[in-house]
Copies of this chain bind each other. A is one copy, B any other.
Amino acid sequence: MSFDFVFEVTASDPHSAARCGRFHTPHGVIPTPVFAPVGTQATVKTLTPHELEALGADLILANTYHLYLRPGAEIIARLGGLHRFMGWEHPILTDSGGFQVFSLAHMRRLDDDGVTFRSHIDGSEQRLTPERVIEIEEQLGADIIMCLDECADPLDRHVLVQALRRTHLWAERCRAAQQRGDQALFGILQGGIFPDLRRESARFLTALDFPGYAIGGLAVGETKEQMYATLEVTTPELPADRPRYLMGVGTPEDILESVARGVDIFDCALPTRVARNGGLLTQGGRLNIRNAQYADDPLPIEADCTCYACQHFSRAYLRHLFQAGEILGLRLATLHNLHFMLRFMEQVRAAIAAGTFTQFKAEFLAGYQISDQDVRFARYAARRAERSEQRPPRRAQP
């Protein structure tokens, strides 16, 4: 079965590189720019797939590394693939697992052929090669799948040159290993903050003619200014008729700056992760619902928000749920934050289509207060948070 992964550009902003598009996949058309909620373990934490659908999510991300280790790609394949397994019949993107191997696994040993590591779950030794990663991603069956790449320190040129060589080698092998025709395999650019390396990566990968391109190795330690500058030199090197995916980004302000530089696809665990810590996204910035000032506040999180949490509950009740450690608090906060992000992306698309994106961006940023807690390097922080969330191995019960 072969699928034609067409990307139509439907509108372009006259004052920036921002654009609207439609990416066709076997499980539906993804309007871009799009934000993909993160469902690491085949569930966007706390939510049902039907809630995600009602929120208007067009694409979700699942993590190959986690699902490969638990429950295992073979089990998911036997149960009909990831869509059926988790009850989500809309587009899914799986990463390659490489980023998680570098950040979560123990004792990794890297060579040109692949990477050996120990599982963070049970300490077992595992081996991933480009071919094995594609095999796993084909078992999972997502609509968009990623090549295995090597993500290195974005400021260390010496290391980056090595990583780039290996990333390109692996991209070729992933391309060659692909057997299913109904999955869009994206190449991943590396090269840190160095324009010549990014250009080299773009040239090498576009020659392989992928249906889409990811920009990897950003938001992992460089400044925001370095990230934006890197996008500026990278996106012009990519073909206009293929979607561009900035991995692990981001916050509303990072999304606006990246859309302005021609990025189409985003994913980030931040909105759902900060929700579970009581951080709620609003037009004015982030609100911490645990603060004592909300103890008897009868107002909703945001007066004009149409999400389920804001339509039915007060800040006082939400604060109570968080103080009492109740799961409903995590659910309502997650619902609100994803509602915020998905409405925000709708506004971004509408503004581009109307030719008013630059104005929308300026007005949004003028009202949105970026707190110190707003993670400057979201993916780097996410990686650290994931590390600290790892649990000791749990044994299956008899």
In the complex, which residues of chain B have a beta carbon less than 8 angstroms from the beta carbon of A86? 317
In the complex, the answer to whether B317 meets A85 with C-beta atoms within 8 Å is yes
The 4 closest A-B pairs by CB, nearest first: A41-B324, A71-B320, A46-B327, A43-B328
Q: How far is the CB of A100 from chain B (nearest CB, A)?
A: 14
Nearest residue, chain B, Cβ from A335: B48
Asked whether A394 is an interface residue with its Cβ less than 8 Å from the other chain, the reply is: yes
In whole Å, how far is A364's beta carbon from the nearest beta carbon of chain B?
A: 28
Q: Which residues from chain B contact A48 at a C-beta distance below 8 Å?
A: 308, 312, 328, 331
Does A75 interact with chain B (Cβ within 8 Å)? yes
Given A48-B328, A326-B41, A331-B48; A316-B398 close (CB under 8 Å): no
Asked whether B45 lies within 8 Å of A327 as measured between CB atoms, the reply is yes
Task: Tell me the nearest residue of chain B to A316, going by C-beta.
Answer: B79
Q: Which residues of chain B are within 8 angstroms of A327 by Cβ–Cβ distance?
A: 45-46, 327, 330-331
A290 in contact with B78 (CB, 8 Å):
no
Contact B43 A323 (CB under 8 A): no
A321 to B308, CA, bound (A): 24
Query: Which A residues contact B (CB, under 8 angstroms)?
Result: 41-43, 45-50, 66, 70-71, 75, 78-80, 85-87, 288, 290-292, 295-296, 298, 308, 312-314, 316-317, 319-321, 323-328, 330-331, 391, 394, 396-398
Nearest B residue (CB) for A325: B391
Contact residues in B for A78 (Cβ distance below 8 Å): 296
Docked CA distance A41–B321 (Å): 8
A87 touches B313 (CB 8 A): yes
Instruction: Tell whether, in the assembled complex, residue A295 and residue B71 are in contact, meaning their CB atoms are under 8 Å apart.
Output: yes
In the complex, which of the residues B308, B313, B328, B396 contacts A323, with contact meaning CB atoms closer than 8 Å? Answer: B396
Looking at the assembled complex, report how far the CB atom of A291 sits from the nearest CB atom of chain B, in whole angstroms: 6
CA distance A3 to B230 in the complex (A): 70
Which residues in B have their C-beta under 8 angstroms from that of A75?
295-296, 316
Q: How far is the CB of A15 from chain B (nearest CB, A)?
A: 42
Cα–Cα distance between A273 and B324 once the two chains are bound (Å):
16
State how many angstroms separate the Cβ of A190 from the closest Cβ of chain B: 30
Question: Is there an interface contact between B398 and A292, defined as CB atoms closer than 8 Å?
Answer: yes
Q: Which residue of B lies closest to A298 (CB)?
A: B79
